[in-house]
Structure 1
Amino acid sequence: MLINTGLDLDCGAYYPNFTQTAVEQGKVNVGDLDRALNYLYVVLMRLGYFDGSPTFKSLGKKDICTKEHIELATEAAREGLVLLKNVNETLPLNSAKIKTLAVVRPHANATEVMIGNYAGVPCQYTSPIDAFKSYGEVMYEVGCDVACQNESLIFPAMRAAKKADATILVVGLDLSVEAEGLDRVDLLLPGYQTQLINQVAQVSKGPVILVVMSAGCVDISFAKQNDKIKAILWAGYPGEEGGRAIADIVFGHHNPGGRLPLTWYEANYVDMLPMTSMPLRPIDSLGYPGRTYKFFNGSTV
């Protein structure tokens, strides 16, 4: 059993259901159980679980949804955003000059999408469109949903971009594309999102800012190389106050210092090796490249 290798805690039912049988069969000894329990209780002691400070049973929603904690959620989102492109210091935008904004989906009005997976019940949501309204007049257009197969809504987004002083495109993935138990089939933006970005950027009057929400990497080389797209931000799934964090960074109320937590491969990476190949290091005999920044020597986004 994994408990022999140092996995002290099982968050499911496997340990409770099978540990006694494993001990009886000699696969696990009592000493390993004592060691695991000792480590777990030491952590609880360090957290103050047994000394009444804090008294966990008295904590409730009133202790979570406070102004202080909502600000903490905002700060966490700000610190996680990553600046991927910023041509000629386009960001931050000058609020004295930028009076109108075209803000375009698929994630411009995101709420639940922002909390991703394994999340509790949020106190509130501040979507990107709500946050940008505090900086100027917003022209909101759908443009495209995450997996859109209909290009008809791209044209209203183009019309808005022609009029606005700046255009914010909030694109990316969601849990219908990437999730535990749901593998992606490529590293591209789904549906017509790439077409949406290119067509809106081509006609935009002002600078175009691309914001990507996703957990995994996305090959956005086309946007990186597009001179009309002046700045790119990766937001991950930034949580309940993600919209405010994005707007604060676009208008210079926070200086983004986040770093990508994973390597962004080009789209053809998925054709270089089967996803059932687990080694991180290259397998030269099979022509498989390595994985991660440590072992992959090819070009990346």
Structure 2
Amino acid sequence: MSEPILPTELTPRRVRRLAVLGDSTAVGLGDPVPGRGWRGVGPFVAQALAVPADGYLNAAVTGARMRCVRYDQLPAAVAHRPDVALVIVGMNDTLRSDFDPVDMAADLDHVVTTLRALGTVVVPVRFHDHGKVFRLPGPLYRALKARIDELNAAIDGVVRHHGVPCLDLGSMPGAYDLSAWSVDRLHPSELGHRMLAAGLTGLLAAAGIAVAEPVSLVCSGGIRPRTVDHVGWLVVKGLPWLWRRGRDLLPYAAGILAASAKETYLAWRDGQIVEVPEPAELPAVSPQA
């Protein structure tokens, strides 16, 4: 097992090159800015670390999965030779029928190993219980949560092996506040992206990286969504998305339900579940005089 990354110098290390790899959250979805598309966590971290404009690379792509980071995004990051690399990916994998945490762990391990060989400080994230944010029917919620638990276990294994810092999104203060999420409830809002950037820069500071300017949690410069945006997204994109992803998760959810039913039946058969008698009828209480 590799030794944890610890500060080796009294003077914090200045970051001149930053790379962001991952999916739509890493792209910045959920934090639109006028005339410039998406902003999000990457620019907030770059500003906090005082990274020059030509030292910032965002190789992330919407819809990316773990293997996309390894095969499609990592080469650009290696060519950039970053001092720090942020890796935010994995949730898209949990929503697919070919979800494989073993392969995902191998892909992430390759990414971390390759970047660390360049002297890069790599910071992945582990994920929250997204069913608390985007409400799903019971079976789908349990299926998604089980997948996220497996994803986090895969990430945890790589983090332990390399001793790299890792941001636990589920433990961040305010992670489940609706204000931290955009209208789609799938991506962070501007505030959520700022919270994510603050958490990442906090870990980097603890690893000996110079943080020139703390990330502000005061929103500014973004486009604030209106109520009509919430309703419009639900009708135009939210329900179709739930239908598409629900179909991917349904076989897995059905398996969870079947296993639960079997476990309950076996417990009942073996006498571990007994009928609870109806409570005795309580005497009526006379009204006080």
Q: Same fold judged by TM-score > 0.5? A: no
Structure ranking higher on relative contact order (CA contacts 8 Å, 6+ apart): 2
TM-score normalised over the length of structure 2: 0.42
TM-score normalised over the length of structure 1: 0.41
